[in-house]
């Protein structure tokens, strides 16, 4: 069980974009900032205590740890922050790649590379590195991991047994590092200061904690109380506290397209509180720091969960894992239609209808604009129920049986669309996103025009749904637009001789112009989501190169048309 799978229903494949293991907090923008919840002197004693201990020195001088009565400890700015700025950069305490990525990513910096070009640890033969520098940098902790991996392999009943999950290996690396550096160091105190919910664990969390405890003890070879004491685990309560801190505060590392790579622990990043409409994101590009300026005493907020879920599912996820109810404006506003649970107006007036979290077919659902009543509420509820079950099943089959997963999404999307669900509604958006991934992965050579056009239509629906939910500059939205632009820019296998404005996607020059518009918008958002100083991350640099190439292609296309027009009178003569 990987870390992403372990928390798939509670935490998103979070907005952590990898290329190195240095978490970076990037500002998104001005709108929808949570109101100040801390009074001027609120938590002054807490802040002095933190300062006295020398903790969280990675935070820049214009950012501070504060305390509010509403949401407890958090991170606040003391001076303005400009959208697209890197707020701060910090080195993670521990990280680990998920098992499928151990062969093709560096275990030190998480950079991608071909297996042939990487150095492999000759002892455990599992960890791979970019070069000798990365291998040397990782050896201080990997030497403990290396022994455990060897012992794990020798104790396995068969030779093809997989290494422990990224969650177990990341947690182990965290404990090895703490023991090596000492339990009285600032970094160890920061780890110990991470929130634990041992005394309020929900029954739904018992299985996760039990799995991690048994796997951790077995992997690290902790066979006696003396072995446990080496890691300051003096009781079962200490072990549960450690696991609770890990589960509550660990992030998922992903590649530049937000595909999960592994797990990472950073007590400084863990200080940041949650909002379903965050004003900052956690990213992992290769960075140079940049601090700029917006509104003093703004709390920095990221998202802990999948914010495309409707309110009741977001609250359920937060309550189960993080033990709090969110009070952001998206969760407390009740007089508007939730775009995550919306139906189109039955009279097509462009208004929306809110479908409540109620399985009763007797509920009254009206259009917020024209007040028309939805007569097929039962059909919408049935579609939502079937779609939710199908999404869970299709997600589980994505890697094991992609053909079956694709079949499910292909069959379910028309059912939800026919029931009136908008592109941003749950579970239609989730199915559309998954469907796009599956269809793109199934591209075969030679690529047909029909397959390409259908993929573009799917990507357009996905981008439309995501645009309704995320603020400008969010990496998820930026990447959705970049993907759509890239698809539109693909050479058409058999372009249409004539084009109609009623046909989507268009062909020829209009198609290239549409690709350029989407990539240009994506580029602007990537600069915000991944930081201006980082040039929008890896994808931002790729999009910039595509824009330059498209400008040339459009110019050639236009010049060809002008040449034809100039030559036409001569031909007639």
Query: Are the C-beta atoms of residues 374 and 365 closer than 8 Å to each other?
Result: yes
Evaluate whether residue 337 is within a structural domain.
no
Distance spanning both ends of the chain, measured CA to CA: 75
pLDDT at 246: 94
Look up the CATH number of the domain holding residue 542. Answer: 1.25.40.10
Query: Are the C-beta atoms of residues 480 and 489 closer than 8 Å to each other?
Result: no
Q: For residue 498, give Cα distances in angstroms to 145, 502, 507, 510.
A: 62, 12, 8, 11
Alpha helices (runs of H) in 341-448, residue ranges in sequence order: 377-397, 402-418, 428-441
Query: Are the C-beta atoms of residues 77 and 106 closer than 8 Å to each other?
Result: no
Q: Which of 26-30, 122-126, 165-169 has the lowest mean pLDDT?
A: 26-30
Q: What radius of gyration, in Å, describes the C-alpha atoms of the chain?
A: 26
The listed range with the strongest mean pLDDT (295-304, 313-322, 350-359, 544-553) is: 544-553
Contacts with 569 (C-beta within 8 Å, 6 or more apart), sequence order: none
pLDDT at 341: 95
Q: Of 309, 168, 180, nearest to 250 (Cα)?
A: 168
Whether residue 4 is predicted with pLDDT greater than 70 in this model: the reply is no
Question: Tokens 């300051």 — which residue?
Answer: 232
Domain edge (last residue) among 302, 331, 362: 302
Evaluate whether residue 423 is within a structural domain.
no
Model confidence, pTM: 0.84
Evaluate whether residue 21 is within a structural domain.
yes
Q: Of 441, 541, 523, 19, nearest to 254 (Cα)?
A: 19
DSSP state of 164: P
Evaluate whether residue 153 is within a structural domain.
no
pLDDT at 360: 75
Domain boundaries, position 193: 3-102+163-302
Structure-block tokens of residue 21: 């293991």
Label residue 22 by pLDDT band (50, 70, 90).
low
Query: Are the C-beta atoms of residues 475 and 530 closer than 8 Å to each other?
Result: yes
Cross-sheet strand order for the sheet of 24-27: 86-89, 24-27, 280-283
Residues 382, 197: Cα–Cα separation, whole Å: 37
Domain edge (last residue) among 302, 327, 351: 302
Determine what percent of the chain falls in helix, strand and coil, rounding each to the nearest 5: 50, 10, 40
Label residue 294 by pLDDT band (50, 70, 90).
very low
Total structural domains in the chain? 2
- Report the length, in residues, of the chain: 573
Query: Are the C-beta atoms of residues 437 and 258 closer than 8 Å to each other?
Result: no
Structure-block tokens of residue 156: 């396995």
Query: Are the C-beta atoms of residues 28 and 474 closer than 8 Å to each other?
Result: yes
Evaluate whether residue 216 is within a structural domain.
yes
Domain edge (last residue) among 302, 327, 358: 302
Tell me the pLDDT tens digit for each residue of 529-541. 988 888 898 899 9
Question: Tokens 């407390």 — which residue?
Answer: 332
Evaluate whether residue 315 is within a structural domain.
no
Alpha helices (runs of H) in 442-474, residue ranges in sequence order: 449-469
Tell me the pLDDT tens digit for each residue of 235-291. 999 999 999 999 999 988 878 777 789 999 999 999 999 999 999 988 876 543 333
Q: Which of 89-93, 166-170, 241-245, 327-331 has the lowest mean pLDDT?
A: 89-93
Report the greatest alpha carbon distance in the chain.
100
Evaluate whether residue 49 is within a structural domain.
yes
Look up the CATH number of the domain holding residue 234. Answer: 3.90.1410
Count, in order, helices (H) and strands (E) of the chain. Answer: 17, 14
Evaluate whether residue 137 is within a structural domain.
no
Query: Are the C-beta atoms of residues 365 and 354 closer than 8 Å to each other?
Result: yes
Residues 346, 248: Cα–Cα separation, whole Å: 43
The angle at the Cα of 330, spanning 327 to 333, to the nearest 5 degrees, equals 85
């Amino acid at each position: 069980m990987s870390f992403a799978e372990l928390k798939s229903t509670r935490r998103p494949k979070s907005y952590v974009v990898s290329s190195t293991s240095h978490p970076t907090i990037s500002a998104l923008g001005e709108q929808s900032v949570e109101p100040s919840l801390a009074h001027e002197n609120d938590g002054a004693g807490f802040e002095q205590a933190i300062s006295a201990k020398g903790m969280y020195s990675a935070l820049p001088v214009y950012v501070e740890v504060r305390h509010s009565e509403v949401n407890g400890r958090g991170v606040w700015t003391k001076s303005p922050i400009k959208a697209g700025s890197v707020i701060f950069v910090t080195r993670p305490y521990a990280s680990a790649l998920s098992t499928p990525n151990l062969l093709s990513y560096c275990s030190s910096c998480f950079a991608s590379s071909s297996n042939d070009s990487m150095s492999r640890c000759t002892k455990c033969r599992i960890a791979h590195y970019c070069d000798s520098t990365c291998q040397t940098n990782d050896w201080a902790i990997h030497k403990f991991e290396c022994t455990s991996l060897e012992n794990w392999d020798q104790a396995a009943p068969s030779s093809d047994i997989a290494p422990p999950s990224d969650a177990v290996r990341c947690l182990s690396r965290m404990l090895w590092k703490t023991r090596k550096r000492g339990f009285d160091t600032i970094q160890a105190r920061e780890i110990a200061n991470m929130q634990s919910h041992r005394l309020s664990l929900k029954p739904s969390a018992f299985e996760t904690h039990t799995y991690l405890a048994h796997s951790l003890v077995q992997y690290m070879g902790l066979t006696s109380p003396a072995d446990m004491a080496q890691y300051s685990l003096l009781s079962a309560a200490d072990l549960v506290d450690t696991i609770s801190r890990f589960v509550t505060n660990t992030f998922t590392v992903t590649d530049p397209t937000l595909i999960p790579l592994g797990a990472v622990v950073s007590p400084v990043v863990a200080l940041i509180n949650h909002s379903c409409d965050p004003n900052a994101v956690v990213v992992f590009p290769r960075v140079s720091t940049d601090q700029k300026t917006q509104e003093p005493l703004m709390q920095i907020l990221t998202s802990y969960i999948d914010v495309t879920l409707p309110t009741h599912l977001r609250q359920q996820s937060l309550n189960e894992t993080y033990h709090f109810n969110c009070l952001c404006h998206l969760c407390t506003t009740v007089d508007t239609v939730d775009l995550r649970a919306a139906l189109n107006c039955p009279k097509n007036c462009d208004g929306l209808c809110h479908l409540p979290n109620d399985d009763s077919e007797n509920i009254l659902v009206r259009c917020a604009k024209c007040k028309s009543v939805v007569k097929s509420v039962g059909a919408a509820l049935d579609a939502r129920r079937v779609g939710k079950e199908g999404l869970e099943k299709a997600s589980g089959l994505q890697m094991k049986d992609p053909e079956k997963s694709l079949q499910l999404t292909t069959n379910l999307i028309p059912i939800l669309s026919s029931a009136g669900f908008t592109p941003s509604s749950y579970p239609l958006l989730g199915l559309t996103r998954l469907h796009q991934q599956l269809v793109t992965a199934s591209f075969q050579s030679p690529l047909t025009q029909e397959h390409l056009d259908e993929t573009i239509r799917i990507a357009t629906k996905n981008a439309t749904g995501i645009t309704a939910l995320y603020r400008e500059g969010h990496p998820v939205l930026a990447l959705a637009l970049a993907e759509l632009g890239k698809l539109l820019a693909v050479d058409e296998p058999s372009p249409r001789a004539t084009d109609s404005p009623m046909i989507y996607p268009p062909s020829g020059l209009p198609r290239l112009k549409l690709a350029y518009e989407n990539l240009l918008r994506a580029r602007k958002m990537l600069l915000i989501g991944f930081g201006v100083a980082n040039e929008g991350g890896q994808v931002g640099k790729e999009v910039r190169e595509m824009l330059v190439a498209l400008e040339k292609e459009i110019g050639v296309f236009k010049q060809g048309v002008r040449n034809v027009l100039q030559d036409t009178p001569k031909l007639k003569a």
